[in-house]
Structure 1
Amino acid sequence: MTSRMTWAAVVLLAAALPALTACGTTKAGSAGNTTPTAAGSPDPVASGSARHDRLFPDVAARCAAKAAETSADPQDDGTNGGTNGGESSRELPTDPEARKYAENHGYKTQGTLSAESRCRADAHGARIKAALTGAGKTAPSGEAELAGSLKELGYSVSGNEVYRSGGTLGFALFIPEAGPCVTGRWTAGGGLTVEGHGVYMEGGCLEPKGGH
């Protein structure tokens, strides 16, 4: 009787071993699964910033240095010396006429720039101005020449980014992969004014002609 029971136990144990081995294999495979999950998905903002920095390493270096200076100075909140494109949530004036004017012109409100975006806007503005007004440079003869110069600098010009208004040549660029706007125009005296700012409430970098 004892011999038969022992033999039966051995048979049962032998039958159970494959199942136990398979179970252990499945668990090990599950633990080692490297399939990306939602929690591990890339941050689109960070990805865009990385692509921007690869496209414009000079701007990336300048803003990295600025960020280092700001973090080293506890009294600097990142707003000193930057170009603020305007607040997206300004308080309306209390005077009725002034309040009405502000409401009617709210479409000209520009989005607020973060310290990082403001640095990029300023750096791109300085970069463009230096390239277009450096030694020996003259104002572009027209839209085509200006568009060509901006494309050579790495900016996208495919629509109304370059324009002429009232005889004045200008541009309004949305910085690739970063977001701030850089706009500029030539003055009557031939000088170039450049400004970095946020996107307009109506959308885009070109100042809207009217609102609703």
Structure 2
Amino acid sequence: MTSRTSPAGAVLLAAGLLALTACGTTVSGSGAAADPSPVLSPGRTPDYAAEAAAAVARHDKLFPEVAQLCEGEESAAPTGSATPGELPTDPAARKYAENHAYKNEATLTPATKCRGDAHAARIKKALGGEDGKGGPKSKEELSGLLTGMGYEPETGSVYASSTGNLSFVLSIPESGPCVTGHLTPPMSVKAHGVYMEGGCNEPRGGH
């Protein structure tokens, strides 16, 4: 038996074939794909070591004198990270240690400790040394001095007590660590790791 197709049917058949062959293609110049759900290629795994090295390089450009002092420390192995440590056996002391674990600081690598100590010494010298003579007398002066040295403290990172005692908390640009200072004689400026709960400011809460 011979099958015959009417002219109208032939037109419809041709249109259907054309639609099938065009499926999945992109219209030139439109920028839109016919497939509404393309398969995304998996993202690349970040190279954290390379990112850390790049941050240190940026730090060294900002503070060449610190970079010179700590040259050669980069190859030193890390000394560890923040851990609660061994808890006391005494129940009361153990409970106290558990409740204050949030105050633990990340352990600094030799390279980071070198940079932190160098920054602390640099800032302490600019503040007038041990006695602080000639140092800042207000929050505004202290903030301006630190900014001029390249630290740009965040809002709330420079403090003045009701009696006028000044203090500050800084995160060293690019490479860390933290530097905390108190200008009340005897002056104290020291470097330390970030806290377990994050950031350079000592956590106020507890459990």
**Is 1:138 matched up with 2:145?**
no
Q: Match of 1:158, as an amino acid?
A: E
Within 5 Å, which residues of 2 pair with 1:114-193?
Answer: 114-133=109-128, 137-165=133-161, 167=163, 168-187=165-184, 190-193=185-188
RMSD: 3.0
Take 2:132 and 2:100, find their aligned partners in 1: how far apart are those partners? 41
SS of match in other structure, 1:163 = strand
Q: What is residue 101 of structure 2 aligned with on the other side?
A: 106
Q: What is residue 39 of structure 2 aligned with on the other side?
A: none
Aligned length: 162
Take 1:136 and 1:171, find their aligned partners in 2: how far apart are those partners? 14
Take 1:136 and 1:174, find their aligned partners in 2: how far apart are those partners? 22
Q: What is residue 24 of structure 1 aligned with on the other side?
A: none
Q: What is residue 64 of structure 1 aligned with on the other side?
A: 71
- TM-superposed CA distance for 1:172, in Å, is 0.5
Q: What is residue 10 of structure 1 aligned with on the other side?
A: none
Deviations along 1:139-191, whole A, 9 cap, x unmatched? 3111110000000100021312111245321000000001210000022xx33
Decide which moves more: 110-119 or 156-165: 156-165
Q: What is residue 29 of structure 1 aligned with on the other side?
A: none
Take 2:195 and 2:177, find their aligned partners in 1: how far apart are those partners? 10
Q: TM-score, normalised by structure 1?
A: 0.67
- TM-superposed CA distance for 1:99, in Å, is 0.5
Please, which runs of 5 or more residues in structure 2 have no aligned partner?
1-42
SS of match in other structure, 1:194 = strand
Take 1:113 and 1:131, find their aligned partners in 2: how far apart are those partners? 24
Identity %: 51
SS of match in other structure, 1:110 = coil
Q: TM-score, normalised by structure 2?
A: 0.68
More helix by share: 1
Q: What is residue 51 of structure 1 aligned with on the other side?
A: 58
